[in-house]
Structure 1
Amino acid sequence: MRFAKPPFGRLLLVALAASSLAARAPDQTPADLYGPLFEAVQSQRIFPDGKTFVDAVPRLPVDRIMADYAASPPADAAALKAFVEARFVIPGDTPAPDTPAVPQGLDLKAHIAALWPILTRPAFTPEPGSSALAMPAPYVVPGGRFREIYYWDSYFTMLGLKADGQQALIESMLENFETLIANHGHIPNGARTYYLSRSQPPFFALMVELSERTDPASRRTQVEAMKREHAFWMKGAACVTASAPCQHVVRMPDGSLLNRYWDARETPRDESWAEDVATAASAPDRAPREVYRELRSGAESGWDFSSRWLDDPQDLATIHVTDIVPVDLNSLMWSLETRIAAHCRELAERACIREFDRRADDRRRAVHRYLWSARERRFGDWDQRTGRMTEAVSAAGLYPLFVGLATPNQARGAAQSTQETLVAPGGLRTTVVSTGQQWDSPNGWAPLQWVAVAGLDRYGHRETADTITARWLATVDRVYRETAKMLEKYDIEDQRPGGGGEYPLQDGFGWTNGVTRALLDRSPNALQDARRPVS
């Protein structure tokens, strides 16, 4: 499925169109709209996946549904389910309509190409009462329960679209993200009202690097969107103190400013309401709202969930994301600042160049001071409570290499420690701890493989990058030949489907397709080499 390249106007036209769309897309979440009905549906688990109800589309006005509920509350779970099914269109994990099935027996590259039409959705305006956000242009979804566009997933999906010549689809996805920024001041976790209180790792500036829109008008649109995203992450700078972070901003001991993950709400996540209530109930010494904020902030990180965020790696209720200054987030923020400055150079905007060069220089010094351990030869996260780096060894430590923030000596040390601790039989480990959380061992994830390979390549550590590439492709290829599926995550110790987390393993799958396709272009002979046994 290919789309004609969409027209792009000046930022004012984008913002006006976005305002029109926003007027039809109120920011109330399903929990806000349906109150006691929502809590009954989620607490009684009338659908196995908590995301099902929050993605449902009402057949009747919200007020009418709530009046019916108040007048005759369902007596039990069966009656409640019947009540909901009569008044809502319940979503299923189905491909795009009128899309032919993927032919059987394709090689991996051809299978990925055949998946793009199945995962592509047209522009749309949501029905009244829906949690979906308007999308003015076509886009790609991850697959399965993930029925909407997601923020950081999309960068890695775009890598595969680029390799398969789907440039028009890359541009249309960028148009959607520009519209989300114009509407909401940031790109939410995903295109749902219940995701608006948080973002995800800020990859928008790196997406812009994949665009072929380089005319001055497009550059201005892009740089204004990047500036607005930067302002969202730095809004807390106005209220941060040496002893108290504010929103996404943390003041370090030397006075410099870095960022953390932070969700604006302190309620259970709409899509995981029952799970969050249960987690908070298992922590009687913590206020529930504190736990809810931490769980939400963990979701903003994309690593939901991981021992990176836990005091006790075996107990999710000890989560404390907002205490952590993460190396991945701050690397991406540095990348955002350097790219804003670069775009401003193209546009000869001197004040902008000076401001964002200074911001990037300040952040680089702070990252090198607080998020690098020469003794351990690794980048890592910093804990505000202890005033030092955490003990968590994770693939996030390769982000400074990925964006070019590391020095050559730091990159050399990080490459050596990666080879020693994170390279597994089937790819790159997420962490070295096994907890049952999905962002821990034994799972490996496509985006982290790309971050590692691209970062190691950037600094000339080709051999380690080649090893990760070959082993990851071996895992994906082996599982594909056994299941005919591309999966969200993989067990890279035993080279089989991954597990853990709050929901069943999903297939589709956007970022796995994108990274695998890009790695096949990076190393054209890697798939053949990957099929050789690993010693």
Structure 2
Amino acid sequence: MNRFHRLLAALLLGLACAPAAARHCVAGFPEVYGPLFADAQRALPDPKAMVDAIPRAAPAAIAAEYAARRDAPGFDLEAFIAERFELPRPAGGDYRTDPAHDVVAHIDRLWRELERQPAPGDARSSLLPLPAPYVVPGGRYDEIYYWDSYFTMLGLLESGRIDLVRSMVANFAAMIERYGHVPNGNRTYYLSRSQPPFFAAMVVLLADHDGPGVLATYLPALEREYAFWMDGAESLAPGAAHRRVVRLADGTLLNRYWDDCDTPRDESHIMDVATAAASPRPAPEVYRNLRAGAESGWDFSSRWLADGRSLHTIRTVELLPPDLNSLLHALESTLARAHAAAGDADASAAYQARAARRAEAVRRLLWDDNEGVFTDHLFEGMASTGQVTLATVYPLYFGIADEAQARSVARVLRERLLQRHGLATTTVRSGEQWDLPNGWAPLQWLAIRGLERYGEHDLAREVATRWIRHNLELFARQRKLVEKYDVTGEAEAGGGEYPLQDGFGWTNGVLRALLARYPDTVAPR
């Protein structure tokens, strides 16, 4: 490794090599490239391209050359970037759908386009190496993403790609072993945060196919992920919070989204700086909340905004979300099963008790009687935000809700979120992508299966039928599947920080699984 490789590795991979308990935020791309970084993010069509680009020379040399030449007459920044960096290409961007293929054949073939093979780490790149093959979402996302992958796996199973499901679960376990948690994605700039913890659900999905021995195999990884989310819980005083854990005044433990950094996200640096500048709060407070919103996977949504409209009012870390706490209940329940499979009855009973306590807390504390749904609650005072969102379906999907709560959630879904083409994410039009009018494949799946679990089969079928038909109608016209859909039928989905992406991993996975589950709803085209 030459001096250039050592420098970039130290700057960009230092966080990756640090022990989990001692991890700190390290110098990122703005420190590496100086003024060039922000200028390049403004010049490029997608700011993320700059953090995914591979420099063709030493970063310090590129930064110095830029400083010397930037004010020269006729200087062309875009040409400079193209000469000095290998810019990323959209994942699957060259793929063209075979006109003879129906949507099932399209998805089955597209997995090959979105599959990535393990490769040695490149110190010039922000990409973190993985030991086994994996599937990326597509478009601007040419790396693995944590919660996306669970929904991708649903489709891989239907496509007969159990090999990829096994290798992806192994990759997530490897990341937990190396970094102490599953990062948002396998990029250096994602290491300070995770995403909704679906690893336990992935392990259960694989165990359902390969047998209960899978639970024992992945027990160490499950334990370590749990330790990450519960870090600091044992010594936390009532009424206090530490990282991702909150202990309420009565001693109840619940979790929140968090990020270990309070700086702008490298991949969205210029946007985060602008958001913080619009807020009267200290900039680090805004940055932390933006990062925590990214950890939630709902980046961004009115559910996180104090005024329900303006991104600079984001307050993610002040909220206890029903989705995250349902996922941690699932992790505790899976740990109970895994310890039982490994022959440790005492540990199994202890985790089952934790899961039971969390389920009771979700039912009691994260329920909003006025709205009739599970909602985010401010942990100071435990007041509900009153926001009706599809996060309410998580306690149904994981079997936490009681029967009366499930009936109420079903009623509210039908009356307030059901649209022409599926379920809207929220009831608010904020301009953010995780709001009305957008619908997202993972949330449709969670809602449909949650409704089925509580016997709400008519509504489940109605949601599935509307979503499937819309996916297929757009596929027939455009010959592609996309990241999200406008479920109102008014326009193409949009909003948020970037244009609508083609691909798309979790859309493919959920549609493939729903077509298998509801084969009589509509014939594939």
TM-score normalised by L of structure 2: 0.91
The yes-or-no answer on 1:75 pairing with 2:77 is no
- Of 320, 325, 329 in structure 1, the residue corresponding to residue 320 of structure 2 is 325
Aligned to 1:518: 513
Aligned to 1:468: 463
CA distance in 2, matches of 1:207, 1:132: 23
Per-residue deviation, residues 304-354 of structure 1 (Å, max 9, x unmatched): 111100111221111100011000000000001001101111111133213
Matches of residues 203-218 of structure 1 in structure 2 within 5 Å?
203-211=198-206, 212-214=209-211, 216=213, 218=214
1:222–1:38 distance in 2 versus 1, CA, 3 Å = farther
Aligned to 1:361: 356
Q: Any conservation in 1 of the 2:196–2:296 contact (CA below 8 Å)?
A: yes
- Of 47, 54, 59 in structure 2, the residue corresponding to residue 57 of structure 1 is 54
The yes-or-no answer on 1:92 pairing with 2:92 is no
Q: Displacement of 1:105 after TM fit?
A: 4.0
The yes-or-no answer on 1:342 pairing with 2:330 is no
Q: Any conservation in 1 of the 2:33–2:59 contact (CA below 8 Å)?
A: no
Aligned to 1:12: none
Q: Displacement of 1:288 after TM fit?
A: 0.7
1:439–1:34 distance in 2 versus 1, CA, 3 Å = closer
Aligned to 2:372: 377
State the Cα RMSD in Å.
2.4
Task: State which drifts further: 36-45 or 187-196.
Answer: 36-45
Task: State which drifts further: 348-357 or 184-193.
Answer: 348-357
The yes-or-no answer on 1:145 pairing with 2:145 is no
Q: Displacement of 1:25 after TM fit?
A: 4.9
CA distance in 2, matches of 1:126, 1:80: 29
Q: Any conservation in 1 of the 2:239–2:249 contact (CA below 8 Å)?
A: no
Q: Any conservation in 2 of the 1:370–1:388 contact (CA below 8 Å)?
A: no
1:296–1:386 distance in 2 versus 1, CA, 3 Å = same
| SS state at 2:325 partner | helix
Q: Displacement of 1:253 after TM fit?
A: 3.1
- Of 433, 439, 445 in structure 1, the residue corresponding to residue 440 of structure 2 is 445
Aligned to 2:260: 264
- Of 199, 210, 217 in structure 2, the residue corresponding to residue 221 of structure 1 is 217
Matches of residues 406-485 of structure 1 in structure 2 within 5 Å?
406-485=401-480
| SS state at 2:218 partner | helix
Matches of residues 38-187 of structure 1 in structure 2 within 5 Å?
38-43=34-39, 45-66=42-63, 68=65, 72=68, 74-75=70-71, 78-95=75-92, 101-187=96-182
CA distance in 2, matches of 1:79, 1:101: 33
CA distance in 2, matches of 1:154, 1:479: 23
Per-residue deviation, residues 207-241 of structure 1 (Å, max 9, x unmatched): 1122244474x543311111111110000314533
CA distance in 1, matches of 2:431, 2:330: 32
Aligned to 1:289: 284
CA distance in 2, matches of 1:267, 1:78: 31
Task: State which drifts further: 162-171 or 105-114.
Answer: 105-114
Aligned to 1:35: 31
CA distance in 2, matches of 1:292, 1:239: 27
Q: Any conservation in 1 of the 2:481–2:507 contact (CA below 8 Å)?
A: yes
| SS state at 1:236 partner | coil
Aligned to 1:16: none
In the alignment, residue 517 of structure 2 is paired with which amino acid? R
Per-residue deviation, residues 261-307 of structure 1 (Å, max 9, x unmatched): 00110000000001101111111x11111111111100000001111
| SS state at 2:425 partner | coil
- Of 246, 250, 266 in structure 2, the residue corresponding to residue 250 of structure 1 is 246
CA distance in 1, matches of 2:189, 2:199: 21
CA distance in 1, matches of 2:512, 2:491: 19
CA distance in 2, matches of 1:434, 1:33: 34
Q: Any conservation in 2 of the 1:33–1:62 contact (CA below 8 Å)?
A: no
Aligned to 1:392: 387
CA distance in 2, matches of 1:313, 1:105: 46
Aligned to 1:279: 275
In the alignment, residue 190 of structure 2 is paired with which amino acid? Y
In the alignment, residue 418 of structure 2 is paired with which amino acid? V
- Of 465, 478, 489 in structure 2, the residue corresponding to residue 494 of structure 1 is 489
CA distance in 1, matches of 2:169, 2:340: 22
Q: Any conservation in 2 of the 1:428–1:449 contact (CA below 8 Å)?
A: yes
Q: Displacement of 1:62 after TM fit?
A: 4.0
Per-residue deviation, residues 72-129 of structure 1 (Å, max 9, x unmatched): 3532795444443333211111438xx8743124222121112111111111123112
- Uncovered stretches (5+) of structure 2, i.e. residues with no partner: 1-8, 17-24
1:94–1:375 distance in 2 versus 1, CA, 3 Å = closer
Q: Any conservation in 2 of the 1:425–1:492 contact (CA below 8 Å)?
A: yes
In the alignment, residue 52 of structure 2 is paired with which amino acid? D
- Uncovered stretches (5+) of structure 1, i.e. residues with no partner: 1-20
Q: Any conservation in 2 of the 1:30–1:194 contact (CA below 8 Å)?
A: no
In the alignment, residue 81 of structure 2 is paired with which amino acid? V
CA distance in 2, matches of 1:444, 1:38: 39
CA distance in 1, matches of 2:63, 2:373: 54
Per-residue deviation, residues 340-379 of structure 1 (Å, max 9, x unmatched): 1011111111332132112112211211111113453211
1:341–1:94 distance in 2 versus 1, CA, 3 Å = closer
Task: State which drifts further: 125-134 or 432-441.
Answer: 125-134
| SS state at 2:495 partner | coil
Q: Any conservation in 1 of the 2:15–2:26 contact (CA below 8 Å)?
A: no
Aligned to 2:20: none
Task: State which drifts further: 381-390 or 310-319.
Answer: 381-390
